[in-house]
Structure 1
Amino acid sequence: MASSFNIISNEEVQDIRAALEEGDLCTATERVSEYLKDIENAPLNIAITGESGTGKSTFVNAIRGMDDEEEGSAKTGVVETTEKPTPYLHPQYTNVTVWDLPGIGTPNFAPDSYLQSVHFSRYDFFIILSSERFKKNDIDLAKAIQAMNKKFYFVRSKVDSDLYASQVRRKKTFNEENVLNEIRNNCIQSLRDGGITKPQVFLLSFLELDKFDFQIMQDTLEKELPEHKRHIFLISLPNISLPVLEKKRQAFKTDIWKLSLLSAGAAVVPIPGLSVACDIRIPMNAMTSYKNAFGLDEKSLEKLADTFGKDVSELKSVIKSPTVTKEINEELVITLLKSGVTGGLMFVEYAASNIPLLGSLIAGGISFGTTYCMLSDFLTEIAEDAVRVLMKALESPV
C-alpha cells in the first residue's frame, strides 16, 4: 500500500485543511458533495460546423466513439444531410452533447443569418471543419465567434485521403511529414490572409481519429476549457490511444480523496466484522464509472472487439485484475474494503502526520483511509488493464 501514499498532493492537503477549517466534518463533506455534483452534472455542448461535405456528421460520431451505422449515430452522406442544429448525446455521458450544425453557405443557411439560426450562445466551443483551404465563410464565422468571446478551433479533415493521393502521385518523393506540413501551412496562411491572427489548425482523419493532431487538439481543449467542464470532456473521449487512457486515469485520480472523505463523512453502513463504516454506494458508483470510462464493461469490450475484428475473449485474456471482470456490487466493494483495512490504517497514520487537522476525521478515519487505498488500487489496476486491452485490439494478426 506504500505506493498509494504518494498519490495525495500538497494542493489536495490544502483542500482538506481548508474544508475542515470551515467547520465540522459534516460541513466539509457537504462542500465536497456539492463540488462533485457540479463536476458530474456540468453540461458540455460542442458545436461542429463548416461547409457541406467536410465530414461534420462523421466527426460527430467519431468524437463520441461511434461508427456511422450504429444506433444513435449522426446521419452521414456525400451531400448535406443536416438542415437544422441536431443534438447527439454521448452514449455514456448524457450531459455531453455534440451538435451537428448545418453546413455554412448552403441554400438553407446564408452566412449572415447562420449564427442566429443555430442558437449561437448555447455552445461551449466550436470546431470549424474544412476538407481543403479555409474559405471566407469559415473566417467570417470564426470572427463572429471571437467577437462573442467564445472559443473556436479549425480542423482540417480528410488528411488521410490527401496523403494517399500524394503517395500515388509522388511515388519516389513522397514524404508524409512534408505533406502534412504543406497542408498545415496552407491552411494557416489562408486564415491569416483572412484576418485570423493566431489560427489553431488541427489535422485529423476521422477514420483514424488517434492519428495526426488529435492528441494536440485534446491537450489544447483540456487546457482552455473551464475547470468544471474539463473533467467531463476528458472522461467522455473515446479510448483510442494510450495518452487518452492516461488522461482519464489522472482525471479520476484527482477526485479520489474527495470521494473517500464523502464516504467517511456519511459513515452509515458498518462493514461486518470490522470497526469501519462508510457509504458503500460512493465507492461502488466510482468503480462503475471507472469501468465504463475505460471501456471495460461487457458492451464496450464487445464493440471494441467488433471494431478491430477480434474475438472478445482475446481482449479479456489480457485483463489481469481479478476484480475488473466481476460485477461491481455491494458484496465486491465490502470484500475489497475488508482486504484494504490494514492499508487504510497505515494511510490514516501517514495522513495524520502530514495533515494535523485529520484529527477531525478520526471517527471516520479508518473508513477514509480504507476507501482511499481501495479506490486508488482499483483505478491503477483498471487503467493498466485498459492499456493491455487496447494494445491487444491494435495488435496486427500474425
Structure 2
Amino acid sequence: MKIFHTSTDDQFGFALVKEEINEALLKNDPPAAAAKITKLMMKEKNITLNIAITGEAGSGKSTFVNALRDLSDGDEGAAPTGVTETTMKVTEYPHPKYPNVTLWDLPGIGTTKFPADEYLKLVGFEKFDFFIIISDTRFRENDVKLAQEIQRMKKKLYFVRSKIDNNMRAERRKRDFSADEALTKIREDCVNNLKKLGVESPQVFLVSSFELRLYDFSLLHETLEEDLPEHQRDALLFATSSISLEIINKKKAAFQSRIKYNAFLSAAAGGVPIPLLPETIDVSMMAAVVTQYVDGFGLDKPSLERLAANTGVPYSDLCDVMKSSLAKQEIDKGQIMKVLTSLAQTAVLQATGEAAKWIPVFGFAAGMSLSFCTTYTALNYFLDTLAEDALKVFERALSGNK
C-alpha cells in the first residue's frame, strides 16, 4: 500500500524517503513519519538548478539574467548591463527569492579572454544544468561551434532570439504590418541560418526580456520543464515570474501537493485541542508556508512594485484587486491567528472530506486529527485565496493602464 506517491526519479533519494514515510505511517509511527517528512522537505529545499546564459557580446545576456530573476536593470543585485560587453568573467547571480536557483552570466564567446575553441573549459561547463545561447540578430558561427560542443558534452541547450520588442516596434511602422507574420519571419530567418551553419532541427524562442509574458517565453519555460529531471521542475517553476495563467495554476498545484506534509507535521506535534482552535497548530510554520505562497505568486510588495513599473499599471490598482490581507506585507503569527480564528468562528474549519480521508491512514488521536484537519483546511484556504489574487493581479496588469 502506498500512501504518498513515489517517483522513479531518485537521483536525490526522493523515492526512497517517500517509501520510508509510507512505512512509518503504515506502522502507525507518527514521530518517525514526521522526521522523514522533514527530511523530504529539506531535500526539496536544497535542490539546485544552475542555468548558463551565454552568447556573443552585446546580445542582451545580462538583461535576460535580470528578467529571469524578476529584477529590472539597475535594481540592487542586478547584473550590470550596457551597450558593450559588460560581463568579463563568469558571474553567478542567485535568484533573490530562491537562492538554490542560480543564473550564470557568461562572457561573450569569441572575446579575447574566452576564445571559442576553449570556451566551455574556461567557463567550467560541468556545473551547469543547461545552456541558453542568446543572440539579438542572427546566430553566428561562434554560437554554432558552442552549441555543437555543448551537445557533444551531453548537455541541453536552447537558442533564444532576444530584443524582439525592438524588432516589433520597427515592424509596426510598415503599412502592411502583421504581428504573426513578422514573428514568423524572424523565427524562420534564425532557424534557416542555424541550419546553414550545421545545426539539425533547431528550435528558436523569441523573447523580450522586458515583456516576458509576450512572445515565446512561456513556450521556453514549458520546454525546459519537459526536459528537466522531475526533481528540478518545481525549482524552475517557483523561480519563474507569474507571467501566465498556466504558470500560476502550476504553482498552485505544486504548493497544494505539499499541504498534506505540512498538516501532518502540525498534527504530529501532539497536544490537546482548545476551544475553536487546537493548540497543536504550529502557527509559525503556517506563517512560513503562507509567506512561500505570497512570494511564489509575486504578491509581495517589491514584486508588485516592479510589476507596476513594468506595465504602467499603478501599484494601488494592483493592490485594489486583491482579496487577501496577507499579500503585500510580511506575514506574522498574529495575522495567521486572526484569520484562523475568523475561519473557525464561521465554521469553515471543519474536518472536510478531503482532509478527513487521511485520518484513518495516519491513525491520529482526536487532538491530532483536529490539528491535521485545521491546518490542512486553513492552508488550502490561504492558497486558494492567494492564487485567486495572483490571477486577478495578472489580469489587471495585462489590461494595461486604463
- 1:101-250 to structure 2, matched below 5 A, reads 101-168=106-173, 170-172=174-176, 174-250=177-253
- 1:1-398 to structure 2, matched below 5 A, reads 11=5, 17=22, 20-21=25-26, 24-168=29-173, 170-172=174-176, 174-267=177-270, 274-324=277-327, 327-340=330-343, 345-347=350-352, 353=357, 356-360=360-364, 364-398=368-402
SS at match of 1:202: strand
Deviation at 1:260, TM superposition (A): 1.3
- Hey, what's the Cα distance between the residues in 1 that align with 2:220 and 2:298? 22
Deviation at 1:163, TM superposition (A): 2.7
Paired residue type of 1:392: R
Query: What is the aligned residue count?
Result: 386
Contact 1:146 1:152 in 2 (8 A): yes
- Hey, what's the Cα distance between the residues in 2 that align with 1:244 and 1:68? 24
User: Which consecutive unaligned segments of at least 5 residues does structure 1 have?
Assistant: 1-8
Deviation at 1:271, TM superposition (A): 5.8
Could you tell me which residue of structure 2 aligns to residue 3 of structure 1?
none
User: Which consecutive unaligned segments of at least 5 residues does structure 2 have?
Assistant: 7-17
Contact 1:301 1:315 in 2 (8 A): yes
- Hey, what's the Cα distance between the residues in 1 that align with 2:127 and 2:274? 46
- Hey, what's the Cα distance between the residues in 2 that align with 1:166 and 1:303? 28
- Hey, what's the Cα distance between the residues in 2 that align with 1:215 and 1:226? 19
- Hey, what's the Cα distance between the residues in 1 that align with 2:160 and 2:74? 23
Relative to structure 2, which stretch is displaced further, 311-320 or 99-108?
311-320
Relative to structure 2, which stretch is displaced further, 288-297 or 302-311?
302-311
The percent identity for this pair of structures is 43
Cα deviation per residue 1:187-233 (whole Å; 9 max; x = unaligned)?
A: 22333344433423211111211111111111111222222222121
Deviation at 1:385, TM superposition (A): 1.1
- Hey, what's the Cα distance between the residues in 1 that align with 2:169 and 2:305? 31
Deviation at 1:134, TM superposition (A): 2.0
- Hey, what's the Cα distance between the residues in 2 that align with 1:187 and 1:374? 50
Paired residue type of 2:62: S
Contact 1:268 1:278 in 2 (8 A): no
Q: TM-score, normalised by structure 2?
A: 0.86
* 1:361/1:149 CA distance change after superposition, 3 Å: farther
Relative to structure 2, which stretch is displaced further, 388-397 or 138-147?
388-397
Cα deviation per residue 1:68-98 (whole Å; 9 max; x = unaligned)?
A: 1212111111111111111112222222211
Contact 1:129 1:154 in 2 (8 A): yes
Deviation at 1:386, TM superposition (A): 1.9
- Root-mean-square deviation (CA, aligned residues, Å) is 2.8
Cα deviation per residue 1:84-116 (whole Å; 9 max; x = unaligned)?
A: 111112222222211110001122211111111
- Hey, what's the Cα distance between the residues in 2 that align with 1:76 and 1:159? 17
Paired residue type of 1:42: I
Deviation at 1:244, TM superposition (A): 2.8
SS at match of 1:88: strand
Q: TM-score, normalised by structure 1?
A: 0.87
- Hey, what's the Cα distance between the residues in 2 that align with 1:298 and 1:354? 36
* 1:166/1:68 CA distance change after superposition, 3 Å: same
Relative to structure 2, which stretch is displaced further, 303-312 or 183-192?
303-312
* 1:88/1:328 CA distance change after superposition, 3 Å: same
Deviation at 1:146, TM superposition (A): 1.8
Deviation at 1:240, TM superposition (A): 3.0
